[in-house]
Amino acid sequence: MKKYGFGVDIGGTTCKIGLFETTGKLLEKWEIPTDTQEEGKNILPDVAASLSQKMKEKGIPQGEVEGIGIGIPGPVEANGVVPVCVNLGWKDMDVPKEMQSLMEGLPVKAGNDANVAALGEMWQGGGKGCKSLVMVTLGTGVGGGIIVHGQIVAGANGAGGEIGHITVNPHESIPCNCGRKGCLEQYASATGITRLAKEWLAQGQGESLLDQAGEVSAKSVFDAYKQQDKAAQEIVGKFARILGNALSNIACVTDPEVFVIGGGVSKAGAPLLEAVEVAYQEAAFSSCAGAKFALASLGNDAGIYGGVKMVLE
């Protein structure tokens, strides 16, 4: 094992880059803008220039770098090829091949950003010490990443871990962004929780702190929940039941050691985690009921941690 590795998390506006020791220690992190002009043809050269510059600055020779692992905001095939990435303008981009030719042959791997973040949380975050994990990212949507035998489950079509699109309510009338109806994402994302709250409040079932909070949001719901607000308890209860049921079904597939909950909504912290864990335990198949629950702990750095971990295997 060489001494250093790079993790890169390419987003639609910035690329996050981390220089790591292969022990897992993050030495330095920085960002560069993502240039999506001209079908994103400058993105990888820009990243490569930034990595080379850093190696020069730190006096790190090529021979001391284990490799470069890159997270991409879209589906990535198991070999690192990106068929289409709308956010970056890419089509049929062979990320390992392109990047390797820019970096004098250093080993390069690429994966979907949600899956890579899951690997990061397994390595140095909320799932540390585990080899099988389900990462649940509660943000504007619901993302996920599945780890089995310590490795990312990319899936045959790059759709491994697309748990936000598990159908949880076949009777839903409003469509999800994916065009189908009743996806987990419609209830368990920040947007989904806000919607559950508005529906509850519209029923006028009594006073609530949420009536005075101005614009209702996932954050205001969890703030009121922490103050034992009755309406917030009902709303969080419904959210937790839907998510807990979905996770209990996932457990019947890969039976993970731990569920790691991340994303903006997870900033609600321990009370959210506890509500979801209790709902999970009520719904779970008995063998799986003891799965651990943990909050993601790497925040926005999960992608660079997971990136470098990809090239350490």
- Which residues would be at the binding site for its own copies (CB under 8 A)? 75, 132, 146, 148-149, 151, 153-167, 170, 178-180, 245, 248-257, 283, 285-288, 290-291
| Distance of alpha carbon 295 from alpha carbon 267, whole angstroms | 9
**Least spacing, CB of residue 106 vs its own copies, in Å:** 24
Q: Which stretch of DSSP H or E encloses residue 92?
A: strand 90-94
Residue count of the chain, please give it: 313
When the beta carbons of 153 and 209 are compared against its own copies, the nearer one is 153
Q: Residue 216: exposed, middle, or buried by beta-carbon count in 10 A (0-12, 13-18, 19+)? A: buried
When the beta carbons of 163 and 216 are compared against its own copies, the nearer one is 163
Q: What is the 3-state secondary structure (H, E, C) of 98-139?
A: HHHHHCCCCCEEEEEHHHHHHHHHHHHCCCCCCCCEEEEEEC
When the beta carbons of 18 and 244 are compared against its own copies, the nearer one is 244
Q: Beta-carbon neighbour count of residue 281 at 10 Å?
A: 15
**Least spacing, CB of residue 181 vs its own copies, in Å:** 10
**Least spacing, CB of residue 272 vs its own copies, in Å:** 22
Q: How far is CA 43 from CA 22, 85, 111, 144, 273, in A?
A: 25, 12, 16, 25, 37
When the beta carbons of 49 and 86 are compared against its own copies, the nearer one is 86
Identify whether the C-beta of residue 231 lies closer than 8 Å to the C-beta of residue 205: yes
Q: Which residues contact 115 (CB under 8 A, 6 or more apart)?
A: 71, 145, 146, 152, 153, 154, 160, 161, 306
When the beta carbons of 62 and 287 are compared against its own copies, the nearer one is 287
The residues that bridge with 19 in the sheet, in sequence order, are 6, 28
| Distance of alpha carbon 142 from alpha carbon 162, whole angstroms | 8
**Least spacing, CB of residue 59 vs its own copies, in Å:** 38
Q: Which residues contact 23 (CB under 8 A, 6 or more apart)?
A: none
When the beta carbons of 155 and 264 are compared against its own copies, the nearer one is 155
Q: Which stretch of DSSP H or E encloses residue 2?
A: none
When the beta carbons of 14 and 157 are compared against its own copies, the nearer one is 157
**Least spacing, CB of residue 66 vs its own copies, in Å:** 21
**Least spacing, CB of residue 139 vs its own copies, in Å:** 17
**Least spacing, CB of residue 1 vs its own copies, in Å:** 22
When the beta carbons of 53 and 287 are compared against its own copies, the nearer one is 287
Q: Beta-carbon neighbour count of residue 235 at 10 Å?
A: 28
**Least spacing, CB of residue 57 vs its own copies, in Å:** 38
